[in-house]
Amino acid sequence: MSGIRTLGDNKAVIYLLSVLAILLWGMSYIWSDSLISQEVPIFYFVPLRILIAGLILLLFNLLSCNFKPIARKDLWKFMLLSLFEPLVYFLCETYGIKETGSPTISAMIIASVPIVSVIAGCTLFKEKVTFVNVLGILVTLAGILLVLSSQGEDCKGGNFVLGLVLLVLAVFAEVGHASMTKFLSGDYKPQVIAMYQFLIGSVYLLPFFIFKGLDGFEARYLSWQVLRPILFLALLCSSLAFSLWAMTIKKLGVAKSSVFLATMWCIATALVAELIGREHMVLIQWLGIGVAVLGIILSQMSACNREGQGSR
């Protein structure tokens, strides 16, 4: 256990594991797209993914003797955590994109997470944010804007204003999720936090599963062709990725982890879309990725010396 703890305290390892989590989320696009192309209802496979992920982590925590019951004083925090994500974030992001009709504008709004996260980190957790941190966040957002500005999509949604409101709510839900994770990380291990997040989240999603996911149920939904991508999503993109990300939030804080997520998520999604031929990046977009990476470096580097002098 001491070896694992040492790895968790190594800054380079934390960033590598963070990148792995984000790449897994980027890969989720492939398996989700596979299910959608098979016309499997979103409210069928998403609740199943969340429930299976929770059960996998429950089994892992029991076998590794890491299981810890929720203390009475922390119950409301776990309830809020699961409410923020998967429920509110998933619903607001999905229907926000649908109503705006523009993944470009949607992604630009979601990419504003770091700005709200800086405010949350400073006010709730007294995180140190210096001029270099703020400069890094601004450079990061400029890079993301370059990546997204060349898409040139028209807005074809049914209710653009409603879509914008839903996407803003998704931003606050993501920051709320990160904040609750930070609150809980002092008393619970990352994989335990993720376990309860998914188990409680599956309860929240149960009505959607029953009334929408099972509507028009077909026997092929139980085939290996459908269950295989659901299992990949549950094991890799939920159980593993969220456990790694909970550790990232604990080690880096709300503000830094959010700017890292916003940028790397855009990069991972762009690369996956390029690899599977869904979208081809132009030169200015690759330039934007480079600018965004520079922003990541600036946003993460300024507190290194101070953190290195702490008791941890």
What pLDDT, on a 0 to 100 scale, did the predictor assign at position 288? Answer: 76
Looking up tokens 């101070």 gives 306
Number of H helices, E strands in the chain: 15, 0
Q: Considering the domain boundaries, does residue 188 fall inside one?
A: yes
The size of the chain, in residues, is 312
Q: Does 222 fall in a domain?
A: yes
What is the structure's pLDDT at 300? 60
Q: Look at residue 312 and tell me if it is in a domain.
A: no
- Token code pair at residue 164: 């914008």
pLDDT for the residue numbered 308: 41
- What's residue 6's pLDDT? 45
Tokens of 20: 């792995």
**What's the pLDDT score for residue 305?**
41
- Rounded to whole angstroms, the Cα distance separating 247 from 47 reads 24
pLDDT on residue 107: 62
Q: Which pLDDT score, from 0 to 100, does residue 37 have?
A: 80
Q: What pLDDT score was predicted for residue 109?
A: 67
Q: How many C-beta neighbours within 10 Å does residue 7 have?
A: 13
Residue 181's identity, in one-letter code, is T
Residue 7 located in a structural domain: no
What's the CA gap between 104 and 132, in Å, rounded?
Answer: 28
- Rounded Cα distance, 234 and 281, in Å: 29
Q: Are 136 and 299 in contact (CB under 8 A)?
A: yes
Tens digit of each residue's pLDDT, the chain (312 residues):
444 444 455 777 887 888 888 778 777 767 877 887 888 988 999 899 999 999 999 999 999 999 999 999 999 999 999 999 889 988 887 777 677 765 555 666 666 666 666 667 677 767 677 777 778 778 877 876 776 665 555 455 557 778 878 888 888 888 888 889 888 988 999 899 999 999 999 999 999 999 999 998 999 999 999 999 999 999 998 899 888 888 888 887 766 676 666 666 666 666 666 666 655 667 776 787 778 777 766 766 654 444 444 333
* Residue 6: inside a domain: no
Cα separation, 57 vs 239, in Å, equals 6
Whether the full predicted model's pTM is greater than 0.85, yes or no, is no
Does residue 311 belong to any structural domain of this protein?
no
The two three-digit tokens of residue 300, written as one number: 């993460």
When divided into structural domains, the chain yields a total of: 1
Q: Is 308 part of any domain? A: no
Residue 84 sits in which domain range? 12-303
